[in-house]
Amino acid sequence: MIPLALLGGGRMGEALLAGLLDAGWEPEGMSVAEVDPDRRRVLEERFPQVRVVPSPAWAVADAALVVVAVKAGDVVAALEQCATTLPEQALVLSIAAGVTLDTLETAAPDRPVVRAMPNTAALVRKGAAAIAPGKHATEADLDMAERVLGAVGVVVRVPEPLLDAVTGLSGSGPAYVFLVAEAMVEAGVLVGLPRDTAATLVHQTLVGAAALLDDGTEGPEALRAAVTSPGGTTAAGLQRLEAHGVRAAFLEAVEAATERSRELGRANP
């Protein structure tokens, strides 16, 4: 049993806890620190065997692994509250967007630290996360971080400077897809479908296309070519998308989001 302390039982914290329990982690080894009494009640009802406490200092006392899932602005305070009780060897895994390894290592001196950038699909266990090691983190620490986030999706390893690109691509990525979904529904209405019919068809089209990609037998180019017959309807539609620069728009969107992530990092080091 790996004693785990979770700081912050919000949406992400709750999703991680549920994923870990389903993956076979033992609830008796887990503690959650949550400041909000209403949230504590929700967590106690959903996870009756997990210890839910109001203070980070209590949660971390015997922990081998501390997962930081409070809002970015609360990370330093939450870690500072643990200063005297955080075990020497405990691995600190932070999922807080934009909080740098430098900041984490200052707030948890001499501890191995791993910084992660997950995305919102972790809430439904289809997350895409990247992890970056701090200066004391070993290969075993990265393996452990991968096991934790692997309970709610896929995990890749990158050096910290690439986390801004991860933020621009998979962090913001779900929003790009939601925009595509909205636009497709509007397009369905334009060509005469009732709005709810268009919404049903678009929803299932996106789920179906994602499932084909997920199947992994073929990549996006081959899948697109397979449904594009010469001179056909899909070719006509794709030609318009290319004429409107959709491909270039995605390149610029990811580039802009990556740059914005860098700017925010410089503003709040």
Judged by the rule CB under 6 A, the positions of this chain that interact with ligand NAP are: 7-13, 33-36, 39, 56, 69-72, 74, 77-78, 95-97, 118-120
Indicate the residue among 13 and 29 with the shorter CB distance to ligand NAP: 13
Query: Residue 156 corresponds to which tokens in the numbers above?
Result: 């890749």
Indicate the residue among 123 and 144 with the shorter CB distance to ligand NAP: 123
Count Cβ atoms below 10 Å from residue 129 Cβ, excluding itself: 24
Nearest to 166 by CA among 215, 129, 205, 208: 129
Query: CB of residue 7 vs ligand NAP: minimum separation in angstroms?
Result: 5
Query: CB of residue 103 vs ligand NAP: minimum separation in angstroms?
Result: 12
Query: CB of residue 136 vs ligand NAP: minimum separation in angstroms?
Result: 22
Nearest to 114 by CA among 128, 80, 130: 130
Query: CB of residue 256 vs ligand NAP: minimum separation in angstroms?
Result: 18
Break the chain down into helix, strand, coil percent, rounded to 5: 60, 15, 30
Please say whether the beta carbons of 118 and 129 come within 8 A.
yes
Query: Residue 231 corresponds to which tokens in the numbers above?
Result: 């001179």
Please say whether the beta carbons of 265 and 100 come within 8 A.
yes
Give the full edge-to-edge strand order of the sheet including 30-33.
51-53, 30-33, 4-7, 65-68, 91-94, 113-117, 127-133, 153-157
DSSP 120: G
Query: CB of residue 119 vs ligand NAP: minimum separation in angstroms?
Result: 5
Query: CB of residue 132 vs ligand NAP: minimum separation in angstroms?
Result: 14
Indicate the residue among 26 and 80 with the shorter CB distance to ligand NAP: 80
Indicate the residue among 78 and 93 with the shorter CB distance to ligand NAP: 78
Please say whether the beta carbons of 117 and 165 come within 8 A.
no
Indicate the residue among 201 and 265 with the shorter CB distance to ligand NAP: 265
Residue with CB nearest ligand NAP?
10
Indicate the residue among 20 and 96 with the shorter CB distance to ligand NAP: 96
